[in-house]
Amino acid sequence: MNGAADNAIRLRGLDREYGDRAALSGVDLDLPSGASLAVLGPNGSGKSTLLRILATLLRPSRGEVSVLGSSLPDEAWKLRGRIGFLGHEPLLYEDLTGRENLEFQARLYGLPREEASARIESDLDLLGMSRRAGYRVSDYSAGMKQRIAICRAVLHRPALLLLDEPDSNLDPEGREAARALIGHPKEIGWASGMTVTRVAVSHDPERAKAEADQVLELAIGVGA
């Protein structure tokens, strides 16, 4: 197998524009499977845009994008169900409970009921949300929403984790607990026997670099 085939993510000259404004310009990247990438840069440098392109939620304006062997945007459909995405929004329905949100997610991903139930309870327990999972999401604090959103992002055991400031709103205890679900791929408990690649956007360079094998620094309107 050649090097390109071993890469979970390969970007060449990736551009993305919003109208006249360049959000990303000429981004190149090779990220091996099973590695952890930290994406750093100031506000407006396109970190979230990059993550949404990799998640197939945004189309690139130009350039080559290959994710888990699928070329984007043409083969985006092949990646459905293989990506765990944690964005700025928790992607949770406010009028459902935390547990109902996870059960809904499990049904969307076609998980067998018993397996889904076991995963949900195990992940909720890891993040200290078991007792509070029966409350409506609208009653949660931002930190509690983030904990449920983390459970949602990994419930289907994705091969690629795309995390946009995963520590936001989490207290130190929550950050520590979250490492077992979304930390470095070697630390993730659920990933035994599978290769998981991780891309995390962060505003905390020291912490991000400690959890990363590779760093991508973005400047405003320019890739690095």
Partner 1 sequence: MTPSLQALGAIVAKDLRTELRTMRSLPAMILFAVTTFIIFRFGLDRTALSGSLASGVVWTTLLFAAVLGINRIFLPEREEGGFDAFRLAPVDRPVLFVAKATVLFLYLVVLEVIVVPVFAVFFLNDWSGLVPLIPVLLLTNLGFAALGTLISSMAVNSRARDLLVPLLLLPLVVPLMIAATGATSPLLDSGGPSFDKFGTWLLVLGLYDGVFCLVGYAVFDFLLED
Q: Which residues bind partner 1 (CB under 8 A)?
A: 55-59, 80-81, 83, 85, 87, 89-96, 100, 104-105, 107-110, 152
In the complex with partner 1, the residue whose CB is nearer, 200 or 212, is 200
In the complex with partner 1, the residue whose CB is nearer, 95 or 171, is 95
**H runs (alpha helix) in 55-171:** 76-79, 98-108, 113-126, 142-154
In the complex with partner 1, the residue whose CB is nearer, 91 or 222, is 91
Residues 14 and 27: beta-carbon distance below 8 Å:
yes
Q: Which residues pair with residue 40 across a beta bridge?
A: 217
What CA–CA distance (Å, rounded) separates 146 from 178?
10
Q: Which residues pair with residue 85 across a beta bridge?
A: 162
In the complex with partner 1, the residue whose CB is nearer, 30 or 100, is 100
| Nearest Cα to Cα of residue 94 among 144, 28, 25 | 144
Cβ 57 to partner 1 shortest distance, Å:
6
In the complex with partner 1, the residue whose CB is nearer, 93 or 173, is 93
| Nearest Cα to Cα of residue 79 among 88, 90, 92, 66 | 66
What CA–CA distance (Å, rounded) separates 201 from 48?
7
Cβ 83 to partner 1 shortest distance, Å:
6
| Nearest Cα to Cα of residue 152 among 97, 197, 203, 95 | 97
Cβ 215 to partner 1 shortest distance, Å:
26
